[in-house]
Amino acid sequence: MANKLQVIPLGGLGEFGMNSLALRYGDDIIVIDAGMMFPDEDLLGIDIVVPDFAYLVENKDQVRALFLTHGHEDHIGAVPFLLSKLDIPVYGTPFTLALAERRLEEHGLAGRVQLRPVWYGRKVEVGPFQVEFVHVTHSVVQAAALAIRTPLGVVIHTGDFKVDPTPTDNVLFDLHTLANYGQQGVLLLLSDSTNVDRPGYTESERAVRPRFEEVFGRAPGRIVISCFSSSIHRLQQVFELAEQHGRKVALLGRSMVQVVETAHRLGVLDIPDHILLRPQDIMLVPRDKVVVLASGSQGEALSAMARVAIDSHKHLSLEPGDLVVLSARIIPGNEKAIYRMINHLARRGAEVLYGSMEPPVHVSGHASAGELKLILNLVRPKYFVPIHGEYRQLAKHVTLADSMRHVGIEGCFILESGQVLELDETGARVAGTVPVGRICIDSGTLDEVVEDVVIKDRQHLSEEGFVVSIVLLNRTTGRPEGLPEIVSRGFVSAEDGAELLERARWLVLETVESASAEERRDVGLIQDKIRRALRKYLQDVASGRPLIIPVVIEV
Amino acid sequence: MANKLQVIPLGGLGEFGMNSLALRYGDDIIVIDAGMMFPDEDLLGIDIVVPDFAYLVENKDQVRALFLTHGHEDHIGAVPFLLSKLDIPVYGTPFTLALAERRLEEHGLAGRVQLRPVWYGRKVEVGPFQVEFVHVTHSVVQAAALAIRTPLGVVIHTGDFKVDPTPTDNVLFDLHTLANYGQQGVLLLLSDSTNVDRPGYTESERAVRPRFEEVFGRAPGRIVISCFSSSIHRLQQVFELAEQHGRKVALLGRSMVQVVETAHRLGVLDIPDHILLRPQDIMLVPRDKVVVLASGSQGEALSAMARVAIDSHKHLSLEPGDLVVLSARIIPGNEKAIYRMINHLARRGAEVLYGSMEPPVHVSGHASAGELKLILNLVRPKYFVPIHGEYRQLAKHVTLADSMRHVGIEGCFILESGQVLELDETGARVAGTVPVGRICIDSGTLDEVVEDVVIKDRQHLSEEGFVVSIVLLNRTTGRPEGLPEIVSRGFVSAEDGAELLERARWLVLETVESASAEERRDVGLIQDKIRRALRKYLQDVASGRPLIIPVVIEV
């Protein structure tokens, strides 16, 4: 292992979300990001999904630090889960750490964790690694790429980025530092693949300004804008326009309130004096004198925006003439919830702006193909591994990089989470795997982990319901006592099913009575017989395949 | 009711799919379309959803006929369900009826139903209604708008349409007939709202040709194209290009095979001689000499395309260099399944074209805002009701029509399914409702209807699982016999839960023992007591809220 550098993706490669990646050199491991993902609809009843950090836990004594590239949930959402298992320092920019700290506080971990703020240009030494934070533009402020000097050469991890030539805060992508690394020679580039499908360049964050101006210029009533609370650039533009147009700004939703407060405290959001309006006063001021910033752009149940849509928010009731702006992307999987919310907003009589339009109501924070090529040109790495994307995106990013071998690329690798890339003096290769996986967390507590078998049962239950049959066997005679009971849910309705289930009771009785004395002495055997009989009957009569659970009790 | 015309939407207004609408004048009712919808993910284990036709069944003796505008599932998918309840003739163009007949055959209804083919321009007299089929362009051939002469005036129902100025078969949208009706005066326009969100004009079906030409020109290996089997225009272009480039065409998937056969038989699809290749021969011909047309563009499990993606199709195994074209829209709700399929195709090494690109790989069959305005200009109706869309789309279509009152529109109405519009000599108004709803069908059989309460149970089960507790009460002593049994699924895993459930058994025992003799004599009362005790315990100890079913058996 000595003199070898290992790149170990723990999440987010070949899947959407829960980004996390480890770098190992000898006995030293550093971790970059610890994100969560929103669950697939087939993970029923699950709130969040985090990477299985088994590899890190097994190598506990070697893990030196966690570096965070930026404050989005798919990069910091699993920080509390990871830090409940490992006691390591966390490095990030002040705003990123502030967002991570919010999450840690929710789990009572904030005091225990060493959060070490880093500013761009400073180099952090951890074991054989020297890590420099490089400023990149993204939809959240204070995002970073990491330039990691190792004994074998420099590794550049882009984090999430776009190359915004005109960011709203005028803090530019630090192309020069990347260029310098490129000139000195970069061993490996790990680069964001989210938008590799899009040709050209992603629009500047400033591109939403004309749309916002149009909205402020014409809205006859209230303006309600929903975006991610961490989209500080966008919030800043809303505050500026509100001031220009003499509107007060009210904040709805816990995350909106908390993040605005944090951003203001850290000086990344400039809030004009006296512009804030308490939520309880929204309905008291003239409709054309207020703009509401609300969280819930993904249609999340119980979010401020979702409650406003169904007119059940205590501080805001929309009327015809009000204008709602959904200034966020539709995260795949959320389409139906979002459209449902928009339908409700339309029923309130509000005009709703969402989706694609020109000028745009939202722009992406991720680099399109043109910017990805620019980064490859600047960094000109020896080896390239695409990160942050499903397989189709990683494959496309490799095709793109393959077409640019002339910049000096010697090898491109598609890794999926768990596949290890090993680099040494002789080259680079995929070498082995480490255990990875998804851990499902049922609620806010970190230890409530729902296992695969439970999820599979839930899936079956959700599709076909269940039938429990209860048979009492007389211990002495071995014969059934009375008519067996049947309990069922999610299979047939009480009315329709009454006769069906009544006949099933008799069927179970016959099955038990027709069994031999030996079978009846073996509970497992008789349960199996009942299960088969019921399965055949329910399949034939009702074309159903509920989960069947035979219970046999000796009395 | 005499001298009144009622417009009665039974499905598809304020919801996506299952389009159906009745027109009533006095004692005569005609029905336009009977479509299905794909279920929401929260309708667990449900295959298809159809409108509740209770209103038609109640007024059975008044229902005269069913008219089909075109052959898409959201317009014909509920025909077997409707015709299993009503014996009425069905009118449509030959291709539309052929597609409906396929569905009827699956349910053994084909022989019993009177299918009456109609050609454009012919007028069908049914009671007080005279119905003319007017040719419209859409992604399926032989689509129609309906011009319905009633005693009160003409009603135009557009069906689904776009105004394609250069259709691939050169059969143009019959603008002239609509213009003539417009000149004579139209009482009411019912117009498709699906794409009202999109500005401008939808691209011609011909717009995909350059992309297909590019694919045929450069593909080094196999070409696999997946689209809706009813997209005859698109299939025709593939056959033409295959002939030009010397490739054989293989068909994969039942619906692809059947619909191509039907279209060929009816003369709407021109298949060059000797071009078809049997699926079992795909792997026998050189890779650059074959194009495969496969159904399953929505990532449907078990579809041809889904099986090819995971390399489990017996007739086709993809290799690097093969090119897959997904030439269909992503229907909302199917995103994850489709992206999953694309990831698997990428893992096979295939290049996959999908989504937005220029030239397009798919164009919509629905009119954008510009075409919707054109139709309003041509038809210049007195009253306007948008159809086929969720509320947000209907609302937007009304805003669009409101801005065009100058063409002579006197009233616009947003109706949702079940809301009745009544028209008479004095005007038009929303007047009352009829019962509507969604009927869920569990599988191919028509009578297997899963009710709301069952679905709610399934939802609960899917999120939290269930716990059944079984207590035996001695009839004589009123005391529990032995330790109660607990059966649970989908709640905690066997390992983790063993201790928890063991303790729950003791809790149930204590609960029963601590009950008074009276309580124990009332099974309902004691069950309720057990339910509360378990709910509290499971909530406190495991933060879970499974469905709790206490069973008490007297022995």
**In a structure prediction context, what are the per-residue pLDDT tens digits for chain A, which is 555 residues long?**
568 999 999 999 998 899 999 999 999 999 999 999 876 544 444 567 889 999 999 999 999 999 999 999 999 999 999 999 999 999 999 999 999 999 899 888 888 899 999 999 999 999 999 999 999 999 999 999 999 999 999 999 999 999 999 999 999 999 999 999 999 999 999 999 999 999 999 999 999 999 999 999 999 999 999 999 999 999 999 999 999 999 999 999 999 999 999 999 999 999 999 999 999 999 999 999 999 999 999 888 778 998 899 888 999 999 999 999 999 998 877 887 899 899 999 999 999 999 888 899 999 999 999 999 999 999 999 999 999 999 999 999 999 999 999 999 999 999 999 999 999 999 999 999 998 887 876 545 554 455 555 666 666 666 777 888 888 888 777 788 888 888 887 776 656 677 788 888 888 988 888 887 777 777 777 888 888 888 888 887 777 778 888 888 877
**The predicted structure's pLDDT at residue A546:** 81
Is B249 within 8 Å of B277 (Cβ atoms)? yes
Task: Please name the residue that has the structure tokens 């969280």.
Answer: A295
- Give the mean model confidence (pLDDT) for residues B16-23: 95
Domains and CATH numbers, chain A: 5-200+364-439 (3.60.15.10), 205-353 (3.40.50.10710), 465-554 (3.10.20.580)
Nearest C-alpha of chain A: how many angstroms from B539?
12
Phi then psi for residue A415, to 5 deg, are -105, 140
Candidates B397, B443, B454, B476: best to mutate against A (most CBs of A within 10 A) is: B454
**Nearest partner of B190 among B375, B354, B430, judged by Cα:** B375
Round to the nearest angstrom and report the end-to-end CA distance of chain B. 63
Which residues of chain B make contact with A442, given a CB cutoff of 8 A?
Answer: 543-544
More confident residue, A299 or B423: B423
Give the tokens for residue B14: 């304020």
Where does the pLDDT of residue B153 fall: very low under 50, low under 70, confident under 90, or very high at 90 and above?
very high
β-strand A323-326 against A223-226: which pairing, if any? parallel
Phi then psi for residue B431, to 5 deg, are -135, 95
Phi then psi for residue B11, to 5 deg, are -175, 155
Computed over every residue of chain B, the mean pLDDT equals 90
Which residues of chain B make contact with A454, given a CB cutoff of 8 A?
Answer: 465, 490-493
- Give the mean model confidence (pLDDT) for residues B476-482: 79
Cis peptide before B94 (omega within 30 of 0): no
| H-type alpha helices, A348-493 | 369-379, 391-402, 452-464
User: Is A192 an active-site residue?
Assistant: yes
Interchain pair B465, A461: CB under 8 A:
yes
Q: Beta-strand (E) ranges in B202-262? A: 223-226, 248-252
Question: Furthest-apart CA pair in chain A: how many Å?
Answer: 89
Sheet of strand B290-294: strand arrangement: B276-277, B248-252, B290-294, B223-226, B323-326, B351-353
Is B154 within 8 Å of B185 (Cβ atoms)? yes
Determine the number of helices (DSSP H) and then strands (DSSP E) in chain A: 16, 27
Report the chain A residue with the minimal C-alpha distance to residue B473: A555
Task: Please name the residue that has the structure tokens 């640019």.
Answer: A404
Does A395 reach chain B within 8 Å, measured CB to CB?
Answer: yes
Interchain pair B553, A472: CB under 8 A:
yes
Which residues of chain B make contact with A451, given a CB cutoff of 8 A?
Answer: 493, 496
| Number of Cα atoms under 13 Å in the Cβ half of residue A64 | 16
Please tell me which of the candidates A481, A485, A489 has its beta carbon nearest to residue B466.
Answer: A489
Which residues of chain A make contact with B347, given a CB cutoff of 8 A?
Answer: 391
More confident residue, B445 or B138: B138
For residues A377-414, one letter each, b for 16 or more C-beta atoms within 10 angstroms of the residue's C-beta and e for the rest, the string is ebbbbbbbbbbbbbbbbbbbbbebbeebeeeebebbbb
Determine the number of helices (DSSP H) and then strands (DSSP E) in chain B: 16, 27
SS3 for A105-148 is HHCCCHHHCCEEECCCCCEEEECCEEEEEEEEECCCCCEEEEEE
Phi then psi for residue B248, to 5 deg, are -80, 155
Q: pLDDT (tens digit, 9 = 90+) per residue, B215-236?
A: 999 999 999 999 999 999 999 9
Question: Which residues have CB under 8 Å from A390's CB, separation 6+?
Answer: A14, A15, A16, B339, B342, B343
**The predicted structure's pLDDT at residue B44:** 44
Q: pLDDT (tens digit, 9 = 90+) per residue, B89-102?
A: 999 999 999 999 99
The active-site residue out of B233, B344, B366, B397 is B366
Is B466 within 8 Å of B547 (Cβ atoms)? yes
**Nearest partner of A87 among A117, A118, A63, judged by Cα:** A63
CA A173/CA A367 separation, integer angstroms: 12
B443 has a pLDDT exceeding 60: no
CA B342/CA A440 separation, integer angstroms: 25
Where does the pLDDT of residue B451 fall: very low under 50, low under 70, confident under 90, or very high at 90 and above?
low
Nearest C-alpha of chain B: how many angstroms from A250?
26
H/E element holding B239?
helix B232-244
| Of B5-19, B254-268, B495-509, the least confident | B495-509
**The predicted structure's pLDDT at residue B455:** 60
**The predicted structure's pLDDT at residue B448:** 44
Give the tokens for residue A285: 């001021």
**The predicted structure's pLDDT at residue B45:** 47
CB atoms within 10 A of CB B312: 9
CA B315/CA A551 separation, integer angstroms: 46
Which residues of chain B make contact with A199, given a CB cutoff of 8 A?
Answer: 357
For the purposes of burial, counting CB atoms within 10 Å of the CB of A359, is it exposed (0-12), middle (13-18) or buried (19 or more)? middle
Cis peptide before B167 (omega within 30 of 0): no
CA A422/CA A430 separation, integer angstroms: 6
Paired residues of B190 in beta bridges? B157, B385
CA A457/CA B313 separation, integer angstroms: 28
The active-site residue out of A344, A366, A388, A397 is A366
Report the chain A residue with the minimal C-alpha distance to residue B555: A481
The active-site residue out of A33, A164, A174, A192 is A192
Please tell me which of the candidates B465, B487, B555 has its beta carbon nearest to residue A551.
Answer: B487
**The predicted structure's pLDDT at residue A42:** 46
Report the chain B residue with the minimal C-alpha distance to residue A449: B492
A:112-171 residues touching chain B, CB 8 A cutoff = none
| H-type alpha helices, A439-522 | 452-464, 494-514, 517-521
**The predicted structure's pLDDT at residue B452:** 55
Which residues of chain B make contact with A466, given a CB cutoff of 8 A?
Answer: 461, 466, 489
Interchain pair A332, B335: CB under 8 A:
yes
For the purposes of burial, counting CB atoms within 10 Å of the CB of B275, is it exposed (0-12), middle (13-18) or buried (19 or more)? middle
Question: Which residues have CB under 8 Å from A185's CB, separation 6+?
Answer: A153, A154, A382
Nearest C-alpha of chain B: how many angstroms from A146?
28
- Give the mean model confidence (pLDDT) for residues B153-161: 98
B:432-491 residues touching chain A, CB 8 A cutoff = 442-443, 445, 448, 450-451, 453-454, 457-466, 468, 470, 472, 481-482, 485, 487, 489-491
Which residues of chain B make contact with A351, given a CB cutoff of 8 A?
Answer: 399
| DSSP state string for A154-175 | EEEE--S-B--SS-TT-----H
Report the chain B residue with the minimal C-alpha distance to residue A13: B343
A:265-284 residues touching chain B, CB 8 A cutoff = none
Interchain pair A462, B465: CB under 8 A:
no
Q: Map residue A258 onto helix, strand or coil.
A: helix
Is B160 within 8 Å of B143 (Cβ atoms)? yes
A:4-33 residues touching chain B, CB 8 A cutoff = 14
Q: pLDDT (tens digit, 9 = 90+) per residue, B30-89?
A: 999 999 987 654 444 456 788 999 999 999 999 999 999 999 999 999 999 999 999 999
Amino acid at the residue A81:
F
**The predicted structure's pLDDT at residue B331:** 81
Q: Map residue A470 onto helix, strand or coil.
A: strand
CB atoms within 10 A of CB B365: 25
Give the tokens for residue B246: 């010397």
β-strand B123-126 against A411-412: which pairing, if any? unpaired
Give the tokens for residue B199: 């500005």
β-strand A48-51 against A438-441: which pairing, if any? antiparallel
Does B500 reach chain A within 8 Å, measured CB to CB?
Answer: no
Which residues of chain B make contact with A332, given a CB cutoff of 8 A?
Answer: 335-336, 339
**Nearest partner of A421 among A380, A382, A392, judged by Cα:** A382
Is A461 within 8 Å of A490 (Cβ atoms)? yes
Report the chain B residue with the minimal C-alpha distance to residue A453: B493
A:32-91 residues touching chain B, CB 8 A cutoff = 40-41, 44-45
Q: Map residue B60 onto helix, strand or coil.
A: helix
CA A447/CA A441 separation, integer angstroms: 8
Phi then psi for residue B45, to 5 deg, are 75, 15
Which residues of chain A make contact with B470, given a CB cutoff of 8 A?
Answer: 470, 551, 553
Question: Which residues have CB under 8 Å from B554's CB, separation 6+?
Answer: B472, B473, B474, B475, B523
For the purposes of burial, counting CB atoms within 10 Å of the CB of A28, is it exposed (0-12), middle (13-18) or buried (19 or more)? middle
Is A216 within 8 Å of A208 (Cβ atoms)? no
Interchain pair B458, A462: CB under 8 A:
yes
**The predicted structure's pLDDT at residue A180:** 97
**The predicted structure's pLDDT at residue B294:** 97
Altogether, the residues listed in chain A come to a count of: 555
Is B52 within 8 Å of B438 (Cβ atoms)? yes
B:310-339 residues touching chain A, CB 8 A cutoff = 332-333, 335-336, 339
